[in-house]
Amino acid sequence: MGRSSKFSVRTEEDHSSATVVLVTGDVDIGTAPDFEDELARSVEEHLGSGLVVDLSNVTFIDSTGLNSLVRAFERQRLLGSELALVSDDSRVTMMLEVTRLNRVLRTYATREEAVAAVARG
């Protein structure tokens, strides 16, 4: 069996042109509630700011984690703001492709690219 990584999620409070939520470890049925709570808090506390969800250190994401991302995307869209993901992990990008969420959720290889994309709107 593979080694699972310790989960953590936090919002970086740098007040740049985008709010960045940094996620580490596995996003699954056990950690998705904390993931979704942090995403919702970030959207509400930074209204109008673009949201970047940095999944660079995510080792696994399941359907509950993907649902959290979709809800954050919908909140951002209703507020007229952008959401972008950061990931170059094949396991994460494969889940996005299999579920066809890659057609809706824009993913970038680096945080800099994602921040620039949401800043442009």
Q: Are 27 and 7 in contact (CB under 8 A)?
A: yes
Task: Render 68-92 in DSSP notation, one character per residue.
Answer: HHHHHHHHHHHTT--EEEE---HHH
Count of other CB atoms within 10 angstroms of residue 4: 11
Q: What CATH code is assigned to 8-120?
A: 3.30.750.24
Domain boundaries, the chain: 8-120
pLDDT the model gives residue 48 = 78
How far apart, in whole angstroms, are the C-alpha atoms of residue 16 and residue 115?
9
Reported as a single tens digit per residue, the pLDDT across 35-78 is 999 999 998 888 878 999 999 999 899 999 999 999 999 999 99
Q: What is the pLDDT of residue 108?
A: 96
pLDDT in tens, 91-106: 999 999 999 999 999 9
